[in-house]
DNA sequence: TGTAGATAGTACATATGTGTACTAAATCCA
DNA sequence: TGGATTTAGTACACATATGTACTATCTACA
């Protein structure tokens, strides 16, 4: 018995009341929402001791995963899946905390360059062990083949969502 | 080429820099986030003409999927996957719009009873055709067997997240 | 050149989400 | 009984997310 039961139960009733209602897509969408919230909460709890939240973590990790630890706000928005208005605020916070640095670009003066600072890198390396442990733990229920299959299906799902 | 590329690319670099970083769980978590955001945005856009947002829609649909169109705030929090503090605000909005009604419960006077109003039911039946069309469209990329498999794997994933 | 349009980033208002602390009522049990 | 504990709901402060409008700069091309 899991937390999805009450939701699934109500989708079933909805289908009875409104037969054209497509159960499968609705279930998938709801499951994704439940999983996302749970993952988000877990990450927030784990990161609390470092004084950052999940969105800030995402930004830091996208910079860590970039050659030269440097990218600009719009690339960051794409990579982290945040809207650009959001990036301004989040990167401001990270600047205030001294974890990244913001400089104006020379070649194109509209652009801004964001770079992971020494302190940012140090923090990442400090929390990564705990993050890795959490990620492992979250997927121990899935066999490797299942995880790969899930990845494949989620990508297919996302591709479809991005048609048109 | 899809919107996930920039993210996946950076996870690959992360694995190179920090070999203990578990790629598969990280990819799954990020995919879920991307999909959730996209679904959320689509729903908001579709619902705009009715003057409600995705979270309000979720609440209305959970009530629609309940026998008697009635439940109380904590059941609603479970079903809709919102924290209870949130339910208060959302149901207030829906009350203000006349879509649901709030009454005190008799048997247990701590409880509150929320019921879908006639206007709420009418609105649901007005937007359901468009919602069904959207849901169908979002999953046309998946064959029925794939969708079922995806459902199964997502449930397994969620179950694991809820261990401990 | 120089002017129209596109692009990068941000500021600000507003919407949405969450933690904490509180009130009132029910339940437990000595 | 009656006091301690639990539960339901909410209020409020704060955190996070987004739409819109704006500035500055770059690009295209007449």
**Mean pLDDT across chain B, nearest whole number?**
96
Each residue of B56-107: pLDDT tens digit?
999 999 999 999 999 999 999 999 999 999 999 999 999 999 999 999 998 8
Residue A33 and residue B153 in contact, taking contact as beta carbons nearer than 8 Å: no
Angstrom distance (rounded) from CA B115 to CA B67: 11
Distance from C-alpha of B73 to C-alpha of B105, rounded to nearest angstrom: 12
- How high is the pLDDT of residue A48? 93
Helix (H) or strand (E) holding A70: strand A70-71
State the pLDDT at residue B1: 67
Q: Chain B partners of A66 at a C-beta cutoff of 8 Å?
A: 10, 13
d(CA A7, CA B80): 7
Place of tokens 């945005």: B41
Q: What is the pTM of this model?
A: 0.95
pLDDT recorded at residue B164: 66
Q: How far is the CA of B108 from the C1' of C30 (A)?
A: 25
Q: How far is CA B99 from the centre of its chain?
A: 19
Kindly give the confidence (pLDDT) of every residue in chain A, 164 residues in length, as a single tens digit, with 9 standing for 90 and above.
Answer: 689 999 999 999 999 999 999 999 999 999 999 999 999 999 999 999 999 999 999 999 999 999 999 999 999 999 999 999 999 999 999 999 999 999 999 889 999 999 999 999 999 999 999 999 999 999 999 999 999 999 999 999 999 999 86
Tell me what pLDDT residue A2 has.
84
- The band of B45, judged by pLDDT with boundaries at 50, 70 and 90, is very high
Distances (CA, A) of B159 to B86, B107, B141: 24, 34, 26
State the DSSP code for A18.
Answer: S
pLDDT band with cut points at 50, 70 and 90 for residue B163: confident
B115 alpha carbon, distance to own chain's centre: 20
- When CB atoms are compared, the residue of A26, A33, A64 closest to B135 is A26
pLDDT in the model for residue B72: 96
Cβ(B76)–Cβ(B91) below 8 Å: yes
Report chain B residues whose CB lies below 8 A from the CB of A26.
135
Return the residue of A nearest to B132 by Cα. Answer: A21
Q: What is the pLDDT of residue B2?
A: 85
Confidence at residue A155, expressed as pLDDT on a 0 to 100 scale: 98
What pLDDT shows up at residue B101?
97
| Residue A9: Cβ within 10 Å count | 14
Which protein residues, judged by their CB atom, are less than 7 Å from any atom of strand C? A 37, 40-41, 44, 72-75, 84-85, 87-88, 91-92, 102, 105, 108, 110-112; B 53, 55, 82-83, 85-86, 89-90, 93, 108-110
Please check the confidence at residue B158 and state whether its pLDDT lies above 90: yes
Nearest alpha carbon to residue B33 among A58, A9, A113: A58
């Amino acid at each position: 018995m899991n937390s999805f039961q009450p939701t699934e139960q109500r989708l079933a009733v909805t289908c009875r009341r409104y037969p054209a209602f497509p159960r499968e897509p609705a279930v998938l969408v709801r499951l994704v929402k439940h999983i996302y919230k749970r993952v988000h909460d877990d990450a927030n709890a784990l990161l609390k001791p470092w004084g950052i939240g999940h969105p800030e973590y995402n930004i830091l990790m996208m910079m860590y995963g970039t050659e030269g630890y440097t990218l600009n706000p719009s690339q960051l928005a794409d990579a982290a899946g945040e809207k650009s208005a959001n990036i301004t605020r989040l990167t401001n916070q990270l600047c205030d905390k001294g974890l990244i640095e913001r400089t104006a670009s020379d070649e194109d003066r509209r652009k801004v360059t964001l770079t992971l600072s020494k302190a940012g890198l140090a923090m990442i390396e400090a929390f990564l062990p705990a993050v890795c442990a959490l990620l492992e733990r979250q997927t121990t229920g899935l066999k490797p083949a299942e995880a790969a299959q899930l990845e494949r299906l989620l990508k297919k799902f996302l591709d479809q969502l991005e048609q048109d």
